Structure 1
Amino acid sequence: MSSGPSHRTPPASPAQKLHENQLQNAFATFDTAGDGWIPASKLRHVLTALNLPNDRAAVTELQAELDRHRTGRIEYPTYLRVLRSCLAARNPADELRSLFAMFDVTGAGRISVRDLERVASELDEAIPTAELQEMVDMADRDGDGLVDLDDFTLIMRKVGLL
């Protein structure tokens, strides 16, 4: 057994796991045959699903990078590499709103324990409901049992994710 430094990849942060989940879900939506590629013509829809700029210029620029050989296909490995960097380059305030929206799927402007359960399940994380309730209680400043964007922002700063 070697006593040298380990070259293992560090575990993904919660934000990285959410990004990966977003990327996989967006790709899978348009990879209807499950064969590892999506039509380049669906790029605008993918960008919309990822809450990334989807104007003509952004789509044209990304399409040139994602489909360099002009096959009309975007292969999954290329998609992952390019769009990971797009997600990582987002403005922190935009990123925070996007992250909040992933929990707040109803668009109500609040996150409930049920929302946290759904996200934990999507990430294959087995977190007891009592623990999720504790998280909500810790973040909820007005005592209504829900976390709004201000509460969310404060707790993300507190735990060092912002």
Structure 2
Amino acid sequence: MNKLDQLKGVFHFFDEDRDGKISPIEMQHCVMRIGGEMLPEEAEAVIESLDADGDGLLALEDFVGLMEAQGEEEKMKDMRDVFEMYEMDGSGFITPKSLKRMLSRLGMSRPIDECRLMISQFDLNGDGVLSFDEFSIMMLR
């Protein structure tokens, strides 16, 4: 089963009346069934923000967009966590020294010159360190 089929299954779980759309009340019910809480106003706001055709309901395409956006958000959070592991010193950048330290912790010790070379391959602005944006580009390759 591919990801789209899985999302369709989840959509149909939310679509209680099987009309091919998710209403705010259906959204609220499903969130409650999986142990969460959602006020009616919150459900309406979520649907309104994603409703492409303005009918006050969430179509399958809108729902897929929501799920994919949440997946991307989670990936970015995970990437931020990994970046912070390598960054270590609070500078907001991965430096050759912090890269060397982390690689050593991972049992992959490298000389500082090799760490500089590794950073230079993705250092887009040439400042000798990796920002989160540069790190993200590196990770997405």
TM normalised by structure 2 equals 0.48
Higher share of residues assigned helix: 2
Q: Which has the larger radius of gyration?
A: 2
